Amino acid sequence: MSGDLTLLSIFEMQAGLRAGDFSCTELLEAHLQRIHDLEPRIHAFITLVEESARKEAKNADFRFSAAQNNGQIDDLPALLGIPIAVKDLITVKDLRCSCGSNVLGEWIAPFTATAIQRLLDAGAIIVGKTNTDEFAMGSSTETSAFGPTFNPWDTSRVPGGSSGGSAAAVAARMVPVAIGSDTGGSIRQPAAFCGVTGIKPSYGRISRYGLVAYGSSLDSMGAFTHSGAEAALLLGIMAGLDKMDATSADHPVPNYHKEITCDIKRLRIGVPREYFIDGIQSEIKTTIKTAIETYRSLGAEIVEISLPHTKYALPVYYLIAPAEASANLARYDGIRFGTRQSTGSMIDMFFETRGQGFGPEVKRRIMLGTYALSAGYYDAYYGQAQKVRTLIKQDFEKAFDKVDVIACPVTPTTAFKVGEHGDDPLAMYLEDVFTLPANLAGVPGIAFPVGLDLENLPIGMQLMGKRFNEKTLFQAVHSFQQNTKFHLQKPLL
């Protein structure tokens, strides 16, 4: 074994393990050492499961040895021996699932999420659960009850949220892949802030079974990797119909990884004028336009388009998502599971458990959602928001009659300082202004690095595609990354 194994791509890890250049145990230990070296500065994890990971690595080594002896090395699962991390909003049997909240405390999940089970069946080894904004409600991973995660590119800055722990873990090379969730940008925004690739698939493409609900009509599970090719491999394993989730789609799942190479000379890329507005950091606007010109040089056709109802996405989201959250979070009452406060009456216990267990941002969104759903206001707020959501969805449908993918910024700024938006919820909400529409429309989106700003912070670009056409997104990202090196840049930790 030579070199730093944590710097390898997933494909290089696969090849090295199959060639016997290093063992699963050596690969795991390299990542665990990386975690121990950096975790005090990054705080990407809530829970580490080193001993169970070591046991699984030994089992994987045995499988590799047996396959080598039997000449069946090519029959082994795709991710055998590959370390991964899972956002602590997703259940893994017998592991704590806190959702970044005191209200759940030490709750141990009794089952494993379908998508995670598919990764385990493919041989992946879970090393831990990553930090998250409380119940995924945040854009900076600062609302976690366990403290904030810090950006590996600059530890005075946030990694984005709510899947900031997963993004930071991949950016810092603690793991080659981490799983997150995206309700309004919670994979794509931290991917942009941390300089990694993050895929939010179409709504229904990956089962939500085992993903603790925030906004049930908006939530999607996805992955952080260093490249579009690696993300394609992961989505191909995680995606597909699941009888445990009525919202999972019975739609064919392509072999994304095998079909990732293509000629993009006939690719039509739409550039929405509504996404290049005043207030965007100038370096982001310039860098995104340069990336679009790179696509033009590769033969793609660039088409200016309009998504006219984009300006309504933010208020629509902050009516629909909190409304769904207020219903989903009603179950945390101190009776069925999680922590329990007070020994007084049941009503006292209910109020004290929720009052002490939930943090300020979660309380804010529960109150917003409850108000929007209350008698006398439902039609004026929630009902009206759903009508405008339909208009936003129709904007995308009309745009995709003209173009194959839509290119735009992921965020209006690069990673901001820890605490910078602490007293200004609206400023925090505006960080997701370019990512919310994809969730409202149910279409896939992928974020990937396209440059650095003057302070050496990553800048990400977003591509959005037709529903269930993740394949074209992966092909477009792969083509860009085959001709540039931005995805290979790493923080100087």
Q: Classify residue 78 by burial, with Cβ atoms within 10 Å: 0-12, 13-18, 19+.
A: middle
* Number of independent structural domains in the chain: 1
Q: What CATH number has the domain bearing residue 401?
A: 3.90.1300.10
User: Is 68 inside any structural domain?
Assistant: yes
User: Is 89 inside any structural domain?
Assistant: yes
The single residue listed with the structure tokens 């790179």 is: 294
User: Is 388 inside any structural domain?
Assistant: no
| Tens-binned pLDDT, residue by residue, of the chain (493 aa) | 458 999 999 999 999 999 999 999 999 999 999 999 999 999 999 999 999 999 999 999 999 999 999 989 999 999 999 999 999 999 999 999 999 999 998 899 999 999 999 999 999 999 999 999 999 999 999 999 999 999 999 999 999 999 999 999 999 999 999 999 999 999 999 999 999 999 999 999 999 999 999 999 999 999 999 999 999 999 999 999 999 999 999 999 999 999 999 999 999 999 999 999 888 999 999 999 999 999 999 999 999 999 999 999 999 999 999 999 999 998 888 777 777 777 677 777 777 777 777 899 999 999 999 999 998 889 999 999 999 999 999 999 999 999 999 999 999 999 999 999 988 888 999 999 999 999 999 999 999 999 999 999 999 999 999 999 999 999 999 999 999 999 999 999 8
84: which strand partners? 126, 177
Instruction: Note if the bond before 162 is cis, omega within 30 degrees.
Output: yes
182: which strand partners? 220
Question: For the chain, what's the residue count?
Answer: 493
**Catalytic site residue from 98, 162, 248, 326:** 162
Whole-prediction pTM: 0.96
User: Is 380 inside any structural domain?
Assistant: no
Among candidates 312, 283, 300, which has minimal Cα distance to 436?
A: 312
162 is catalytic: yes
User: Is 372 inside any structural domain?
Assistant: no
State the DSSP code for 431.
Answer: G
**Catalytic site residue from 144, 186, 207, 326:** 186
458: which strand partners? 452
20: domain range? 5-309+393-488
186 is catalytic: yes
User: Is 36 inside any structural domain?
Assistant: yes
202 is catalytic: no
Instruction: Copy the structure tokens of residue 57.
Output: 């690595």
